Amino acid sequence: MRIEPKKIMCAIDFSDFTNIILSYGKSLASEFGSTLCLCHILSGTHMVSSLGHSYIHYPDIETERIQSAREMLEKMAKEIDIECEVIVSSGHVADEINQIVLKNNIDMVIAATHGGSGIKRFLIGSVTDRLVKILKCPLLVLHAKEKHLTSVVEKNIKLKRILVGCDFSQDSSLAFDYALSLAQEFQTQLYLAHVIKPTQHIEMPASNYIKIQGGDYTNWALSEYMESQKKADNEDLKNKKMLFRGLEKQLSSLVPEESRNWCTPITILLEGQPYKELVDYAGQKKIDMIVLGVHGHSLLERFTVGSTTDRVISRASCPVLVVRESS
């Protein structure tokens, strides 16, 4: 299914990485013919007591800050020369962005995680982490580093290689649809990866190691075990090859018939921890974007999923598009 986001939001924090966010926003909006929304959330417009409770609110200061932020965003909108909407609000950043997304029918949010250190990393990471868990629309996380600092908004972002993490779930299927649509717009090579856990090896029963008085039973048991283990390994290898062939076929079948004339994906099967294998492979192949489907809507599921997704986001050197099916 082709995905065409009608409204894309850039979450602007006026940091040194603002231009890289605008670059991706402008490129995606241009390719899909989307409206671009520039959004800034103000926080800290009240005094806080030593116990952490807010007790004085300054509406005049907040009004001035909102007006100042709006003027800065409007200036950015003129400079990037694309149809833009400007939204400035105040409150808890992630929650406020989520409300704006719901109210304005936003189809995709673009934000940057700075990957700093200490308290700064904790605060920025907590916003990104919460957005991953609460947003119902896709979130494109740019892993901003020093090399991404730029004084200008780039006209065209190049996406030559897109890697999709596929586990054949419903969310994964939606993530593939987004990746396929991006691949079509940007003429991208698509990589479809499935990560499986390493085969668990059969351990030798402890009883085979028991020493029996008056004979070589231990050596005999070890010899018997090694022979049986060899047979088991051969059987495991045979089953593994069958499994891999089946998975490769299933990955290839994800591409719909009408797209096969232009999309020939590269299928990859990896073994190990999903976040580590995907990040390592992305680094080796110089992937330009990783696309992941996020599972679950319950608090427990979201906590579990976040641990994998957050690790990919924090470790990947390329942008990560996180997709969750709306409930």
User: What does the domain layout of the chain look like in residue ranges?
Assistant: 1-47+54-157, 158-327
- Name the residue with tokens 């030593």: 50
Res. 10: pLDDT tops 90:
yes
Which stretch of DSSP H or E encloses residue 13? Answer: none
C-alpha distances (whole Å) from 225 to each of 207, 215, 218, 234, 308 are 11, 17, 10, 14, 38
**Secondary structure class of 211 (helix, strand, coil):** coil
Measured in whole angstroms, the distance separating CA 133 from the mean position of its chain's CA atoms is 11
The pLDDT assigned to 64 comes to 87
Nearest to 162 by CA among 175, 147, 145: 175
Segment 233-276, tens digit of pLDDT: 666 667 767 777 888 888 888 899 899 899 999 999 999 998 99
Mean pLDDT of 192-196: 91
Structure tokens at 78: 């003129």
Domain 1-47+54-157, CATH homologous superfamily name and number: HUPs (3.40.50.620)
Structure tokens at 16: 């040194």
Mean pLDDT of 88-117: 88
* 191: number of Cβ within 10 Å: 24
Query: Residue 57's pLDDT band (boundaries 50, 70, 90)?
Result: low
- Running DSSP on this structure, what letter comes out for residue 324? -
Nearest to 233 by CA among 223, 222, 225, 245: 225
Measured in whole angstroms, the distance separating CA 9 from the mean position of its chain's CA atoms is 17
Angle separating helix axes 299-315 and 274-284, nearest 10 degrees = 30
Domains 1-47+54-157 and 158-327 share a fold: yes
Segment 105-122, tens digit of pLDDT: 999 999 988 654 433 443
Decide yes or no: CATH 3.40.50.620 for domain 158-327: yes
